[in-house]
Amino acid sequence: MRTLHRSTALAAAGTAVLALALTACGGSGSGSGAKDEGAAKPAATVAAKPSKEASAPAGSAGTAAKSGGTAKSGGTAEGTTTVAKTTTAQQAAPKSGGSKDTDSYAYTHPCAGGQVTVRVTKRATTQRVIEVRNTGASACGLSYYPTVDLGSSTSADQSHNIKPLVPGGLGGPPAYALRAGRTTYAVIDLDPSGATTGTARGIDEMNVLADGDHMPNAETRNFPLGSGAKVLKPKLGLYSATVAQAVDSMRQADTRA
């Protein structure tokens, strides 16, 4: 009896276990389906996102349109290109002769008295350097050399002033082109021989006119030589770009100005 009861109990327990297993399997299947449907919502959401993202290009296209509208910067770029072209044209102007700071312009536009400054410095015992600087904004033309004479500062009669020798064999104009902001030099030697006797007496002043061919005498500048200056057969060179060149030119002077 005990043995039968125990077998029955075991059988009943097995049946219960089998029933629970079947129930678990069925419940698992239905729960899995519910989870799939619930997961489909995120999938649908994901699918919806592309549609939103698909609309994004339209939005970005709108943005592009705005940036295209900001293509005003593109317009600015075109403006910049135009300015660059203008600048290039301006830089090329001097080569084409369109600028006022060229030799060709200088040859047809003599320097005015108010456009240049004149300065005289002592280089050696008997030599003086005449510096003419263009303070204007455009080039201008000078004669081959300045007009110079030497005399007495106390004499009312300047007609007997001494004039230096200058290089001969010069052609006609154009002469010397002086660019804006540049300086040209001419050197005069008051006593090239270095003689201490036979020199002119009472000479203590040098009169300089930067361009005797075009400037009025009123533009003449007076420079003191100091007492005891020795003057004998002075020589004057041509306008030159450097003092050294001006000295070489002065040594070639052989013609009465």
pLDDT digits (tens, 9 = 90+) for 119-146: 999 998 899 999 999 999 999 999 999 9
User: CB-based contacts of 148: which residues, under 8 Å, 6+ apart?
Assistant: 130, 163, 164, 188, 206, 207, 208, 209, 236, 257
Q: Which residues pair with 129 in a beta bridge?
A: 121, 187
Please compute the mean of the pLDDT values over residues 42-68 and round it to a whole number.
40
Please compute the mean of the pLDDT values over residues 25-48 and round it to a whole number.
40
Q: What is the pTM of this model?
A: 0.62
Residue 103's Cβ-side half-sphere holds a number of Cα atoms within 13 Å equal to: 5
Q: Given this model, what pLDDT does residue 173 score?
A: 78
More confident residue, 232 or 31: 232
Q: Given this model, what pLDDT does residue 74 score?
A: 39
Diameter of the chain by CA atoms?
Answer: 174
- Predicted confidence (pLDDT) at residue 9 exceeds the cutoff of 90: no
Specify the range with the lowest mean pLDDT, choosing from 110-119, 181-190, 194-203, 245-254: 194-203
Specify the range with the lowest mean pLDDT, choosing from 4-13, 57-66, 150-159, 180-189: 57-66
Please compute the mean of the pLDDT values over residues 232-248 and round it to a whole number.
98
